Amino acid sequence: MNAPGGTITIAGKTVSRLGLGTMRLGGRESWGLPTERATLMTVLIKAIRTHGITHIDTADAYGPHTVEDLIHDSLSPYWFDTDVLIATKVGMIRTGPQTWLPHGHPNYLRAAVEGSLRRLGVERLELCYLHRNDPAVPFLDQVGALAELQTEGKIAHIGLSKVGPAEIDRARQVIEVAAVQNKLNQGLPDDLATVEHCGTLRIPYVAYTPLGAGTLAAHGGAGKALRWLLDLGPHVAAIPGTSSVRHLDELVYALQPEAA
């Protein structure tokens, strides 16, 4: 089975450059219990078993918490016989459907990691991102809290989300940065300096919202938008999100050579 978009090594695993973001699997506005749970489980299973997507991205804030449960219930039979990377993120709290608040106190990050371990049903998170830099907490204290959990064996690799080159360099004083996940797409190409910095440091760059929340996918533009991203360098991956089996199929097809 060919990996959509080719392959990239992230957190020690060779995975598909086209991954799957799961924020849309957490109910409307990623709040509450998901509707049509069986359909969403099918999306996850088909991504891996049919399309060879081996990079699944989630966060404890999606739902909150409900998407990690969904991933466990959908994919736990497949994790250990395939080279699937389940990446999650901690450091964001939700108090309502449209509210996303960074919370980087070390004690909270520790509790969040413990919660993700329970929900995903694993003893170690293969890749755990700091979801956001909380301006109320020293940045290296937040990174250091994840580093302590890594030393304890509860996190294998640490990533950073929504950061620039300066934050990446500061974090590298404390950790090896396994991946950077930022918002980037053809309509909002303002993070190219971070893409270049990651390339220089050989850090995988994972683009979220690669289709501009669907605006770039109109009129068959998904393939063009995704190829633009992947052509930025072999260290770049994309994690479009969908809650539709049909849309999942379209995303994969858009990267096939005959669709170019």
- Answer yes or no: are the C-beta atoms of 173 and 160 closer than 8 Å: no
Q: Please tell me the distance from the alpha carbon of residue 67 to that of residue 239, in angstroms, as a whole number.
A: 16
Q: Catalytic residue at 129?
A: no
From 62, 129, 205, 208, the catalytic residue: 62
The H or E element containing residue 101 is strand 101-102
φ/ψ of residue 32, rounded to 5: 85, -170
The H or E element containing residue 111 is helix 106-120
Q: Please tell me the distance from the alpha carbon of residue 181 to that of residue 183, in angstroms, as a whole number.
A: 7
Indicate the burial class of 38 (C-beta count within 10 angstroms; 0-12, 13-18, 19 or more). exposed
The string of DSSP codes covering 213-224 is TTGGGGGGTHHH
Residues annotated as part of the active site: 62
